[in-house]
Amino acid sequence: MLKIGNIEMKNQVVLAPMAGVCNSAFRLTVKEFGAGLVCAEMVSDKGIVLKNAKTMNMLYIDEREKPLSLQIFGGEKKTLVEAAQFVDKNTNADIIDINMGCPVPKITKCDAGAKWLLDPDKIYEMVSAVVDAVEKPVTVKMRMGWDEDHIFAVKNAQAVERAGGQAIALHGRTRVQMYEGKANWDIIKEVKQSINIPLIGNGDVQTPQDAKRMLDETGCDGVMIGRAALGNPWMIYRTVQFLKTGKLMGEPSVREKMDVCILHLDRLIALKNEDVAVREMRKHAAWYLKGVKGNAKVRNAINECNTRDHMVTLLNDMVADVEEKESQVTVG
C-alpha cells in the first residue's frame, strides 16, 4: 500500500497535479471515483507570501478530498519556506509537495520547477529547509532530467531522500521533452531501486492495464494519472477496480458522462462564480465529450456559452439526441 509519512492511502492510484484543472471541484469529483490520493494544482510561493487573493482561493480544500497533497513552486529558499509554513499552519492539506518538474519558461526562468533538476545540491538545500520548517510530510514531484545529456534522476531523488523528503513522484520525461515522446519507465525502476522512500511512477498511464504494467515493471509504490483523467474520472475508478480485482469495468454511458460533467460544473460555480466557472468549464466539457460520436457541433456551441443553464441545456439535448439515435439502431 502507499504510505507517505504516517498517511496511509486506501489504494495506489494518485491524481496528478494539473494547473488550471486540479482545483477542489475536480479533485472532489475524482476522489468520489476512488482515488487514493489527489494532488492540487501548483501554487506560487510568492503568491502565498504576498497573500494574493487568487492564490489564497487556490488553497481551499474540502474535507472530503482528503488525503490531499498541495503543491508549491518557487526558486528562492526564503519564499519557498515561508509559503510551506503558511500551507502547514493554515490549510487542511495532508502533504506539502514541491514542484520540480514544471517545464514552462515562465517558471524555469525564476529558477523554479524543472530548473532544479540540474543541481542536486540545490535540491538537497531547498528540500531540507522546507522539511525543517514544517510538520506535514514533504514530497517532491520531478521529471527525470533537464535534457538527454542531464538525466540526474537517481542523484536528485537521493538528494530528496537525504533532505528528509517522504516520497517522490517521478515523471519519466525530461524538461526539454515537455509532453512529447514516450515516458521512460526504466528510469522509474532505476530510481525505485536507489531510494528507500515511496516512489510514485508517472507518465503515459492511459488505461487501467497501463497502471498495472507500470506497478509491475517498475516496482513503484503508487501510480499517478494525469491526462487520462481529464474529463474522465472513470479512468480512476476503472484503474482502482482493475488493480483490486483484475476485472476491467465498462466505459460509462453518455448520460453518465454528462451527469458528472454537470456536477463538476456546479461545483466549479460554487467555488468561483458562474461567469468564471462556465468559461473554465468549456475545456472540461470538451474533454468529457471526447469519444462521443458527432460531438463537434455541441463542442462549438459550448465554446460560445456563458451561462450554466445554456451549457446544461446543450449537454442534455446532446444526450437526448444520442439516446434517440441509439434507440433507432436498436429498433431497426
Q: Kindly list the catalytic residues.
A: 102
Can you tell me whether residue 250 is helix, strand or coil?
coil
The rounded distance, in Å, linking the Cα atoms of 76 and 262 is 40
Q: In the beta sheet, which residues pair with residue 222?
A: 200
Q: b vs e for 247-273, b when ≥16 Cβ sit within 10 Å of the residue's Cβ? A: eeeeebebeebbebbbebbebbbebbe
The rounded distance, in Å, linking the Cα atoms of 140 and 96 is 8
| Of the candidate residues 202, 218, 232, 239, the single one contacting ligand FMN (CB under 6 A) | 202
Q: In the beta sheet, which residues pair with residue 140?
A: 98, 168
Size, binding site for ligand FMN by CB under 6 A? 22
Task: Give the closest residue to 80 by CA, choosing from 119, 41, 120, 129.
Answer: 129
Asked if residues 131 and 96 have their Cβ atoms less than 8 Å apart, the reply is: no
| Of the candidate residues 67, 75, 101, 120, the single one contacting ligand FMN (CB under 6 A) | 101
User: Whole-number minimum distance, CB 250 to ligand FMN, in Å?
Assistant: 22
Asked if residues 69 and 93 have their Cβ atoms less than 8 Å apart, the reply is: yes
Asked if residues 262 and 277 have their Cβ atoms less than 8 Å apart, the reply is: no
User: Whole-number minimum distance, CB 183 to ligand FMN, in Å?
Assistant: 6
What track of x and - describes contact with ligand FMN for positions 58 through 97 (by CB under 6 A)? -------------x--------------------------
**Placement of cell 469529483 in the chain:** 29
Please state the φ and ψ torsions of residue 28, each to the nearest 5 degrees: -65, -40
Q: Output the nine-digit C-alpha cell for 24.
A: 477542489
The rounded distance, in Å, linking the Cα atoms of 154 and 280 is 38
Q: Output the nine-digit C-alpha cell for 254.
A: 453518455
Window of 56-64, 197-205, 211-219, 259-267 that interacts with ligand FMN by CB under 6 A: 197-205
Kindly identify the residues of this chain, within the stretch 131-190, that bind ligand FMN according to CB under 6 A.
141, 171
User: Whole-number minimum distance, CB 129 to ligand FMN, in Å?
Assistant: 20
Window of 57-65, 88-96, 199-207, 233-241 that interacts with ligand FMN by CB under 6 A: 199-207
Nearer to ligand FMN, 21 or 131 (CB): 21
Kindly identify the residues of this chain, within the stretch 252-281, that bind ligand FMN according to CB under 6 A.
none
Cβ neighbours of residue 251 closer than 8 Å, sequence gap 6 or more: 234, 291
What track of x and - describes contact with ligand FMN for positions 215 through 244 (by CB under 6 A)? ----------xxxx----------------
What track of x and - describes contact with ligand FMN for positions 36 through 55 (by CB under 6 A)? -----xx-------------
Residue nearest to ligand FMN (CB): 226
Asked if residues 170 and 157 have their Cβ atoms less than 8 Å apart, the reply is: yes
Examine residue 192 and tell whether it contacts ligand FMN (CB under 6 A).
no
Nearer to ligand FMN, 27 or 308 (CB): 27
Asked if residues 165 and 195 have their Cβ atoms less than 8 Å apart, the reply is: no
Tell me which DSSP letter residue 181 carries: S
What track of x and - describes contact with ligand FMN for positions 10 through 29 (by CB under 6 A)? ------xxxxxx--------
| Of the candidate residues 24, 79, 91, 99, the single one contacting ligand FMN (CB under 6 A) | 99
User: Whole-number minimum distance, CB 142 to ligand FMN, in Å?
Assistant: 8
Nearer to ligand FMN, 17 or 75 (CB): 17
Kindly list the residues in this chain that would bind ligand FMN in the complex (CB under 6 A).
16-21, 41-42, 71, 99, 101-102, 141, 171, 202-205, 225-228
